[in-house]
Structure 1
Amino acid sequence: MLTRGLLLLLIYLNIALLFLSVLWLLVPSFKQYSLSDYYAYSALVILVLSALVAQGGRNSTEVTDNKNNYRAVVFLLTLGSILMIESFVLTLI
């Protein structure tokens, strides 16, 4: 179960990074910032989204909703953390 979730996480992350990279290459106005900046911005958006999902989970009283919200928050926090690490690595290159 955990392995399948991590595999899906990597697939979603690679699709998102591919989309960002293609946009950065094709749209001239995107090149005013580096690719690592876009990774950092998208990581911040994902982390804010995870905070909103976590806040919505507090209002729920059903166990299944709380369990699903917990999974969503863990997924979004992991995705945001990976994007921040990749942004840092791209800055060093």
Structure 2
Amino acid sequence: MWTGQEMTLADGLMISAVGLLVVFAALAALAIAVIIISKIINTAVKDKAPKQAAVAAAPAPALDEESYAVLLAAISEEARLSGEEFRVTSIKEL
């Protein structure tokens, strides 16, 4: 391919194309590997899902006044509203 010290435009374009092909082939292989691994993990987790659903159905403990005040202050700061301009009807843990 190279007989002299200089590279022609065609040689440079060919090397660039091969480099891009290698990069995108590796990205495609990683994407396929992630899809396969996620399907394997999802099938393993499906067996354990009913057990976790029973635990998640338990009611969350009530918030103490300090935690409630901290949450309201964070909401007020984020929304840039005073405490009188909004009303919190329920708080649920995500």
Length-normalised TM-score, structure 2: 0.34
Q: Which has the larger radius of gyration?
A: 2
Relative contact order (C-alpha < 8 Å, sep 6+): which is higher? 1
* More helix per residue: 1
Length-normalised TM-score, structure 1: 0.34
